[in-house]
A and B are shown apart, each in its own frame.
Chain A
Amino acid sequence: MSTPAYLITGARPYGEEPQDILITEGRIAQLGPDAGRAPGSENAVTVQAQGQILLPGMVDLHTHLREPGREDAETVETGSRAAAKGGFTAVHAMANSSPVADTAGVVEQVHRLGLDSGWTEVYPVGAITKGLAGKTLAELGAMAESAAQVRMFSDDGHCVNNAQLMRRALEYVKTIDGFIAQHAQDADLTAWDTEQPAQMNEGRVSATLGLPGWPAVAEEAVIARDVLLADYVGARLHICHVSTAGSVEILRWAKARGIQVTAEVTPHHLMLTDELVATYNPVYKVNPPLRTEADTQALREALAEGIIDAVGTDHAPHPDQAKECEWAQAAMGMTGLETALNAVQHAMVETGLISWRRFVEITSERPAEIYGHPHQGRPLAAGEPANLILVDPSASTTITPEQHATKGRNSPFRGLELPGRVTHTFLGGHQVLAQGELTTSRSGRSAE
């Protein structure tokens, strides 16, 4: 099937001066007042975008698409639809599926499911260790050489606690031009794999609620160790979902020393605090846990300043029964793909901490650069791939999980009125989202 040309009129690239943009053959053909008269514009479908902002499609380094194995929670198809609706033109699917994505076979399966869906680009993340067990290295080379061409390796959901194994992993991925993404959580300090594992941030609130605490130092100690290891062996390290003010200070120190470390923060850690746990509503149970107001503020400032590089949603859908139970038994995680723009606009843009230019860096350019995607997170300029989104920044959205494309209804933002709305998503020039509704995917699927 052939993709039509599109002429977007009156959109503001990076939130700046309005422009017309012509998209043909998957690329931005022209950008400027003459776009409507340029070759190829004759049969273009016009998208009137007055008042809207044109941005590069967002790139999410951190999602859980649950397939294979937990198709009741999410599939690559439903997760990809959620990505398109949320304004993501590329997502990275963590390895904690069942079976674990620790072989070429599984990552190729996820890769192929992503191509078949065609709502967004899906990049499987390979496990660092076999079965995420933290004992022996998975076949990293085989995953790198597979059709999925995996570059990012993570045991996310589990920390690589063994320092020697972490050192070896950091070294080994140098040979395949990859990088390690660490879920920083000291197992002992969080009583992991015990009868009484940590349940929430340790502090004033946990003391009162009587829930076992997940101390900030359990994250910070691992990050400190790992930046030293990365420095020692000269490898690249990415830190998943940074959640504490102390972690920010360690990252600041590491970056000042020139250590090759990058970091992401989730939208929920930018907005929500552990005070919410007092409701005992498991929708607020997440790992790492919601922290304090001071942490939230430090994370926002670090993201504005560049100590934290990127936003990663840690989109983690769960079926209702995994959250409709006692706190201690409930699953950890929150959906995030379809609320990320709203949350980041609220926490970062509306507060005056960042401009839309910086928004593009943290949601698109830096994550694409960290992974090494040559065609994502590109400038809004003629000749560039048309991975684009249109955003109505003056709209406001009351978050209603039942309207989401993800199977998960576990959004911590339920009922909140947040700014912004993703109206259009172009995936390689193909319009997968129009006026906030899914159209057809690049592979020709409809959302019915």
Chain B
Amino acid sequence: MRHLLATEGLTYDDALTILDTAEEMAAVTSREVKKLPTLRGRTVVNLFYEDSTRTRVSFEAAAKRLSADVVNFSAKGSSVSKGESLKDTVQTLDAMGADAIVIRHSAAGAAAQLAASDWSEAAVVNAGDGTHEHPTQALLDALTLRRDWHAAHRGSGSSTSPRGTDLAGMRVLIVGDILHSRVARSNLWLLRTLGAEVHFAAPATLLPLGVESWPVTVHYSLDQALAAAPDAVMMLRVQAERMGGAFFPTAAEYTRRWGLTDERLATVADLTLGETQSPALILHPGPMNRGVEISAAAADAPQTRITEQVTNGVAVRMAVLHLLLTGDHA
């Protein structure tokens, strides 16, 4: 792996290597001294063309815990807003000695273009490109799911570590704006690679034309999707700009039909991880619209893994930077 651009095409072995390395990184993160020297003297640039404090801070923490030097380059208020091209910006960063460029961009394909170009020798990590992919989000979701899936299924005497395991047999339901979601796309490909079954629930207006060619089961009704007994329910954020009546009539109607309301939470509470007694999981990539796609009670429920997702995000990004910059498949 030279770059991490997408989960589509990411091999099973590479995915498992990232997840297993992330487990080791997570162990570091729980130590008192949360730092490894592996990237000392290396420079990681966070090139953010879109505001996303959460993702940037996560990558920054990850790089710093590996002792890398971190440069944050925000396109807002920089020369980029004066019309500098991506090419010139990247060549500038390259000339300053960037070893890895973590790029977030509103344009789908920006990371892939950067990796395919001769503008820079740096390793490229896609931190979200338009409505295309957000691979580290899917990896942190998979890390989160795998831990619970493994813990629920491991027999007495087997390892407490989920290392080397996958998501075979797990059923994951993703709910909401699939059309505009890079998180949904990245999760679909990665979860399938790891052996999980994927379901979508969304109004037809928020599903891409061509979804029928994807390896996914589509439900228009969230209630029917929940009746199919998913092991995990991932709620997607509804962007404010979709609420104007073009994609669905009102936020209230959306919540009634596709929101994880208190009533639906009661349904989810009865679901378990496979045949085990462990409760089914609730995930959300954040930031949440409490009261729209997820009720406050659902957001704070015991089977919700939202804060674990954030923690795991740092571990996954440490793993990705470590693997790309050291070439060390530890």
A residues adjacent to B (C-beta < 8 A): 199, 202-213, 215, 279-281, 321, 324-329
Contact = CB atoms under 8 A, between A and B. Distances in A.
Interface stretch (B28-36, B204-212, B315-323): B204-212
Contact of B209 (A211, A215, A280, A326): A215
A209 B87 CA distance: 21
A203 B107 contact: no
Contacts of B109: 209, 211, 280, 326-327
A215 B208 CA distance: 12
Nearest to B178: A207
B152 interface: no
A213 B209 contact: yes
B214 A207 contact: yes
B185 interface: yes
B11 interface: no
B64 interface: no
Contact of B112 (A207, A280, A328): A280
Contacts of B133: 210
Contact of A210 (B87, B131, B211, B213): B131
B38 interface: no
Contact of A202 (B106, B112, B130, B209): B209
B211 A280 contact: no
B185 A281 contact: no
A206 B86 contact: no
B108 interface: yes
Contacts of B132: 209-211
B107 A328 contact: yes
Interface in B94-108: 105-108
A202 B209 CA distance: 7
A205 B210 CA distance: 8
A209 B85 contact: no
Contact of A281 (B107, B113, B130): B113
Nearest to A327: B109
Contact of B210 (A207, A279, A280): A207
A210 B110 CA distance: 12
Interface of B: 8, 85-87, 105-110, 112-113, 116, 129-133, 182, 185, 208-211, 213-214
A210 B58 CA distance: 24
Contact of B86 (A202, A215, A326): A326
Contact of A211 (B87, B105, B130, B211): B130
A280 B182 CA distance: 16
Contact of B130 (A207, A208, A215, A328): A328
B112 A210 contact: no
Contacts of A209: 108-109, 132
Given A324-B85, A325-B86, A210 B209 contact: no
Given A208-B8, A210-B133, A203 B210 contact: yes
Contact of A207 (B116, B129, B182, B211): B211
Contacts of A279: 112, 116
A328 B211 CA distance: 22
27 contacts: A199-B108, A206-B209, A206-B210, A207-B208, A207-B209, A207-B214, A208-B8, A208-B214, A209-B108, A209-B109, A210-B129, A210-B133, A211-B132, A212-B131, A213-B208, A215-B209, A279-B116, A280-B110, A281-B113, A325-B86, A326-B107, A327-B107, A327-B110, A327-B113, A328-B107, A328-B130, A329-B107
Contact of A325 (B87, B131, B211): B87
Nearest to B112: A280
A209 B210 CA distance: 11
Given A326-B86, A327-B108, A328-B107, A210 B210 contact: no
A329 B113 CA distance: 13
Contacts of B130: 210-211, 328
A126 to B, nearest CB: 33
A211 B108 contact: yes
Contacts of B112: 279-280
A137 to B, nearest CB: 32
B204 to A, nearest CB: 13
B106 A328 contact: yes
A329 B107 CA distance: 8
A324 B87 contact: yes
A243 B172 CA distance: 39
A326 B105 contact: yes
B109 to A, nearest CB: 3
Contact of B108 (A215, A280, A324): A280
Contacts of B108: 199, 209-211, 280, 327-328
Contact of B85 (A203, A208, A281, A321): A321
A280 B113 contact: yes
Nearest to A195: B241
B113 A210 contact: no
Given A326-B109, A327-B113, A210 B185 contact: yes
B39 to A, nearest CB: 28
A128 B130 CA distance: 36
A281 B114 CA distance: 11
B118 to A, nearest CB: 11
Interface centre among B112, B116, B211 (most CB of A within 10 A): B112
B15 to A, nearest CB: 18
B322 to A, nearest CB: 27
Contacts of A205: 210
B162 to A, nearest CB: 29
Contact of A208 (B86, B106, B113, B185): B185
Contacts of A199: 108
B124 to A, nearest CB: 13
Nearest to B111: A280
